């Protein structure tokens, strides 16, 4: 799942979401920590779902705890 394509939505100061594009899961996780974002679920077509994940959920999905 590390290379699954996700749609990234950056969350602004006032809570508004701005779609910034499609990247793979690893690229999304490499975004700076100070950027709050949500991504489409990597198991579903990018941009084709309302099921969203934050950074922590994406990290757990990509590298599940053992």
pLDDT digits (tens, 9 = 90+) for 19-30: 999 999 999 999
Q: Is the pLDDT of residue 31 over 90?
A: yes
pLDDT of residue 27: 95
pLDDT of residue 42: 82
Residue 39: HSE in the Cβ half-sphere, 13 Å Cα cutoff? 31
CB within 8 Å of 31: residues ≥ 6 apart = 8, 37
Q: Nearest 5 degrees, angle CA 53-CA 55-CA 58?
A: 60
């Amino acid at each position: 799942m590390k290379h699954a394509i996700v749609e990234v939505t950056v969350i602004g100061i006032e809570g508004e979401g701005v779609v910034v594009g499609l990247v793979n899961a690893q690229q999304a996780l490499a975004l700076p920590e100070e950027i709050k974002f949500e991504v489409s679920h990597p198991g579903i077509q990018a941009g084709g779902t309302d099921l969203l994940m934050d950074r922590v959920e994406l990290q757990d999905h990509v590298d599940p705890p053992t």
